[in-house]
Amino acid sequence: MASVTAETSEMETAFAEAHGTMQLVSFKLAQELYGIEITKVREIILITEITRIPQTPHYVKGLINLRSAVIPVIDLRTKFGLPEGELTDESRIMVLQAHGKTIGIVVDAVNEVLRVKHEQIAPPPPTVAGLGRDYLTGLVRLDKEMLILLDIDKILDKEEAETVASAG
């Protein structure tokens, strides 16, 4: 997929605000459907060689070189405490902005860009306990499944984002 340009992103954000909608990039992780606001996504790339680095948090897979920029890559499965999965032809690295830092996250597959209305987003149920509740923004009811809406700025708090970014 091509880069998401700042100009396009600004136009989409203005449209979304005017029409009460939000654009999400949906992706699969351990058979579940997740979404992140499109304004946080810089680009989506094929899995490339990831250079492992010692003494980093357990969820940091390593570093990639993307057009002469060194970007840390985290494994969301590990961060979420999910079983490790095999990389496939559908696996991708989503390059995101978190706390002003550029990071990559490994996902099983990227599905599509969705436009959802704010009223389609249900708050997380109060019965959801644990750390996951902190970065779960809401649930979006789609035709055949439920999308879990994530806040990338809460998945990695500011200190973690700086630690991960300094690895690069």
pLDDT, mean of residues 106-113: 94
Contact, 23 vs 12, CB < 8 A?
yes
Tens of pLDDT along 120-134?
888 877 766 554 567
With respect to residue 127, please indicate whether it lies within any of the assigned structural domains. yes
Query: Is 71 inside a domain boundary?
Result: yes
User: In whole angstroms, what is the distance from residue 64 CA to residue 125 CA?
Assistant: 37
Query: Which of 48, 27, 47, 46 is CA-nearest to residue 36?
Result: 27
The tens digit of pLDDT for each residue in 135-167 reads: 788 899 888 889 999 988 887 766 666 666 666
Q: How many domains would you assign to the chain? A: 1
**Residue partners of 90: CB distance under 8 A and separation at least 6:** 28, 108, 109
Per-residue pLDDT band for 16 (boundaries 50, 70, 90) equals very low
pLDDT of residue 5: 46
Please report, for the domain that includes residue 97, its CATH number.
2.40.50.180
Residue 1 inside a domain? The answer is: no
Can you give the pLDDT at residue 157?
Answer: 65
What is the mean predicted confidence (pLDDT) over 74-100? 90
Look over the chain and give the mean of its residue pLDDT values, rounded to a whole number: 82
Domain interval for residue 32 = 6-167
The vertex-54 CA angle with 48 and 60, nearest 5°, equals 50
Region 88-101: mean pLDDT is 92
Residue 96 lies in a domain: yes
Residue 111 covered by a domain: yes
What per-residue confidence (pLDDT) applies to 112?
A: 92
Distance CA 149, CA 109 (A): 16
| 53 vs 6: CA distance, rounded Å | 31
pLDDT at 3: 46
pLDDT the model gives residue 4: 46
Taking 50 as the threshold, does the pLDDT of residue 6 lie above it? no
Q: pLDDT at position 63, please?
A: 94
Q: What is the mean pLDDT of residues 51-64?
A: 90
